[in-house]
Amino acid sequence: MEEDIFPKGAAWMNGEFIQLSEAHIPILDWGFLRSDATYDVVHVWKGRFFRLDKHIDRFFESTEKLRMPCIVSRDELKKILAGCVHRSGLDDVYVEMIQTRGMSPKFDRDPRKSKPRFIAFAVPFGWILKPEDFEKGLDVLVSARRRIPTNSIDSRIKNYHWLDLVSGMYEAYDLDHDTVILVDEENNISEGPGFNIFCVDKDGLHSPSQGVLEGITRHTVLDLAKELGVPFQLSSISLEKLQDSNEVFATSTAGGIMPITRINDKLVGKGVPGKITRILHQSYWDKHTHPDWSQSVSDFLE
């Protein structure tokens, strides 16, 4: 049966909560045909949303930049997301909010005539690097493949333009790496499929300053660095600088702060998670119960 391929979870469409297997969009939706959509993913850990408002802020900003303002209010959105989590019966959850351009009447080619479509769903929490593999870390290929340039698509808008990333993932898999990092037009480090990059040297933390999605976990690392007194700098990072760093880690909602211990078959530092990575990793998960950083799902249930 079709339902057997779906994970446990719940969805919301067209004003009601439904099963994941019942969530469909028409083939003429611009989100499907043109990748004309934006989305965001907030996670719930042990029944608490983590940095929910920051995810919603970015989602609203993305819909505005795409000239299709979110069709649900902030309060309504929170209730929808919480409702999806509640109906999923899960404590550790990915919660995705999506808005597509929708359909234009009679398939008119003018996007201004389309009515946006909002969708949300909750599925079990997933990991780029599983907790039991933390000490091993990620083995990464830095590809020569260029990330879509920010003067073509605003990298700050979370989008589904992933063909460059997916092609890079296959390149990495073919060479027995865990995942991939792409470069920008100047061959500096960009980002990976769903994650940002940080490196650590004697001067502190470094992360690319432009041409990347400004991830919420990336922003969280910068907040934690301020709290912990760790200096940081946002600037261009060459492959050579990355490989010569003492520590390298990836940041994503899909796992938080994850050590990268091997790049292009070369060990990073001693090939184990470094001191700064460990401190930030622990601080990140500690914040999941802090009331200024997280909120109970039950706070938004009607």
Domain's final residue, options 66, 94, 124? 124
Percent of the chain with pLDDT over 70: 99
Confidence label for 2 from pLDDT (cuts 50, 70 and 90) = low
Residue 98 and residue 22 in one domain:
yes
Residue 227 and residue 83 in one domain:
no
Residue 158 and residue 210 in one domain:
yes
Beta bridge partners of 192: 195
For 202-216, the pLDDT digits (tens) are 999 999 999 999 999
Say which CATH number the domain at 262 has: 3.20.10.10
For 110-134, the pLDDT digits (tens) are 999 999 999 999 999 999 999 999 9
Asked whether residue 94 is domain-assigned, the answer is yes
The single-letter code of the amino acid at 285 is W
Average pLDDT, whole number, for the chain? 96
Asked whether residue 247 is domain-assigned, the answer is yes
Asked whether residue 64 is domain-assigned, the answer is yes
Return d(Cα 274, Cα 283) in angstroms, integer: 14
Say which CATH number the domain at 98 has: 3.30.470.10
For 224-245, the pLDDT digits (tens) are 999 999 999 999 999 999 999 9
Query: Would you say residue 30 has pLDDT above 60?
Result: yes
Residue 139 and residue 256 in one domain:
yes
For 167-180, the pLDDT digits (tens) are 999 999 999 999 99
Segments forming the whole domain that contains residue 80? 2-124
Q: How many domains does the chain have?
A: 2
CA distances to 127, 135, 144, 215, 240 from 252, in Å: 9, 17, 22, 7, 23
Domain's final residue, options 102, 124, 146? 124
The residue-averaged pLDDT of 32-56 equals 98
The residue-averaged pLDDT of 190-207 equals 97
CA distances to 46, 92, 191 from 89, in Å: 12, 10, 33
Return d(Cα 266, Cα 248) in angstroms, integer: 12
Six-digit token pair at 55? 């995810």
Q: Looking at residue 5, what is its pLDDT? A: 87
Q: Looking at residue 3, what is its pLDDT? A: 57
Residue 149: which of 161, 132, 166 has the closest Cα? 161
3-state helix, strand, coil in the chain (%, to 5): 30, 30, 35
Residue 96 and residue 173 in one domain:
no
Query: Would you say residue 302 has pLDDT above 90?
Result: no
Domain's final residue, options 107, 124, 141? 124
For 156-165, the pLDDT digits (tens) are 999 999 999 9
